[in-house]
Chain A
Amino acid sequence: MTHTPWTDDQAPTEENASPAVPDPSVEALRDILFHQYRERIAELEAELEALERRLSDPDRLAAIIAPSLGDAIRRNIRDARDEMIEALYPIIGQTVVRAVSEAVRDLARTLDARMRQSLDFKSRFRRLWGRMSGLSQAEMALRDALPFSVLQIFLIHRETGLLLHHISLDPHAQPDSDIIGGMLTAIRDFVNDAFNRGQESQLDEIQYGDRSILIETAQYVYLAVVVQGVEPSGFRAEMRRRVIDINHTYESVLRQYRGDATLLSSADGMLRELAVYA
């Protein structure tokens, strides 16, 4: 069978197409079939519109999710505490650092202002000293606000644990410095043996409350300094320098130490300078 195409004048157009006449019975049928769907679509559209309105309002959104979010966080903290801490640490850490920095800056500003107002001789001297040493008044004031003091100095023979020299600036210090020196050596030995097998590192600090025992070791002796407060920068290096100096100066006595501590009495000056370092 062959198909004869339309000619241009035969093709259907809007003008010559027969007009759509709604058939009432079809319309009635359509209403019957789709009525419930049309209603449901209208309801969904209304709900969607309401939801969009709520989501676009931050206050209403927060009110919706807050209860669920709170429950979720509480449950996560309970079930995965370590993971939560790790996740939050970068944020909390930075926040704490920022807050502390800000508090310290505030303290510095306050102290600086007070120092500027002060006219007494001590303050003038401090300002002069600060200028000479390149420190700002705030830094000088901060240094005062973070006090540091040396309370006791123990120079101890490393091998025997015998006390070689002791300086106390603490009026409440125990008089039994030789026994304390011995126990300190025992604790050092214990820590080194128990936790540090095969390694060269040494116990270098013991902290208790606001006090610390700073320890610096040389070949034959070690220095234990009981301090209160925050040690100034360079104090450790100064301790190290002095203990090495003492080790070199008295090397012949210390190598075969026979228990006569008077041979090291001249080390007092080297140690006492450390006591007034702050």
Chain B
Amino acid sequence: MPALSKKVCLLGDFAVGKTSLVRRFVYNLFEDRYISTIGVKVSRKTVTIPDAAGPVELTMMLWDLAGSEEFNQIQASYLRGAAGAILVCDLTRPETVTSLTTYAGNLTSINENVSLVVAANKNDLVNQLRVAPDEVAAVAASLGAPFYLTSAKTGDEVEAVFRHLGRLLVKS
């Protein structure tokens, strides 16, 4: 089976659940504290992607970037060379959805042909949801990206996000 590796960034505001998504479904070697020290932690997610020429083993090297302002200047170099990104927002905080456009803009200004998937997270917090799926769909459509309503807590749709991005990366 052919094997490919791609760099993938996780982007989104502080506390939207990027690290939780990674922690749940991704192979971790290093502790999360690296994110607060140098602004990033690298993990690995390997998926098998069906392709016309046969299945491909895709290794996504996931760069989980700090969502705080203090690392903004350094983030630019962390974004370099990314083939794809998972844009993460929090369904209980509307402002985290609108800021996805900024993250996508920062990324595409450095890497033109980057594949994007939106993960609208914390879908399990039913009583606190303040963003309708239609609003997420509108933002995702403006970015040309598919979107998923995910829950890092229950694991709902998390695997689907990685698989979808994997398919886009293999095709690109």
Contact = CB atoms under 8 A, between A and B. Distances in A.
Interface string B1-16: 0111111000000000
A261 interface: yes
B5 A162 contact: yes
Contacts of B41: 183
Interface residues of B, number: 29
A259 B76 CA distance: 21
A210 interface: no
B74 A190 contact: yes
Contacts, number: 79
Given A178-B44, A260-B2, A261-B5, A190 B38 contact: yes
A176 interface: yes
A56 interface: no
Interface majority SS (helix, strand, loop, mixed), chain A: helix
Interface string B53-91: 000000101010000000001101110111100000000
A163 interface: yes
B61 A178 contact: yes
A189 B76 CA distance: 10
Interface in A153-185: 157, 159-163, 174, 176, 178-180, 182-183, 185
B61 A190 contact: no
A163 B7 CA distance: 10
A176 B38 CA distance: 20
A258 interface: yes
20 contacts: A160-B7, A160-B83, A161-B63, A162-B5, A162-B6, A162-B61, A162-B81, A163-B5, A179-B27, A182-B63, A183-B41, A186-B63, A189-B74, A189-B78, A190-B40, A193-B73, A193-B74, A194-B74, A258-B4, A260-B2
Given A161-B63, A162-B6, 10 more contacts: A160-B80, A161-B42, A176-B44, A179-B30, A179-B61, A182-B42, A183-B34, A185-B42, A190-B77, A262-B2
Interface of A: 157, 159-163, 174, 176, 178-180, 182-183, 185-187, 189-190, 192-194, 258-262
